[in-house]
Amino acid sequence: MAQTQTRALYRQLLKEVNLQYTKVAKTDLYANEIRSIYRQNKDITDAAKIASLNQTAADVVTFMKGSRKHKELRELYSGVVMEQKLKIEKSANLVGLQLPEQYDPESPRPLDGSDREQAVADRVNKAFSNQ
């Protein structure tokens, strides 16, 4: 049983290291270090020592999985990672508002009376058509 658990933890460690470090850094440094640690401890026969090492490996796997999930969730939902304009736009959309068009100095478009009336009418129609 301990040998099966040890192999499963070893595979999980290598998988997490591959996902988080090997692919990103394009180096096998961390995976090689794990392999080296397991090779150093392959001759241990004391059941208590094996259980202790397996528990440490399980803790490391849990930490690495949690760190990866946390990073994925931060990238997905965090306003810190989002650029400021996108954050403001999403906040406005959340409460049903739209941001006004940004003034572009490269191609200014002044609103004269007819354009302004049409723009207001379009916004009103759009606002009431969503409900």
On whether the CB atoms of residues 64 and 20 are closer than 8 A, the answer is yes
pLDDT at 119 exceeding the cut of 70: yes
> Does one domain contain both 56 and 106?
no
Q: What is the pLDDT of residue 81?
A: 56
For the stretch 17-31, pLDDT in tens is: 998 888 777 888 888
Residues 13 and 63 in one domain: yes
Indicate the pTM of the whole model: 0.57
Per-residue DSSP letter, 126: H
| Predicted local confidence at residue 109, as pLDDT | 67
**Within this chain, do residues 65 and 102 fall inside the same structural domain, yes or no?**
no
Beta-sheet strands, E only, within 1-131: none
Assess whether pLDDT exceeds 90 at residue 117.
Answer: no
Number of domains in the chain: 2
How do residues 33-77 score in pLDDT, each as one tens digit?
999 999 999 899 999 999 999 999 999 999 999 999 998 888 777
Q: For residue 52, what are the domain limits?
A: 2-77
Residue listed under structure tokens 């049903």 = 96
Summary mean pLDDT of the chain: 82
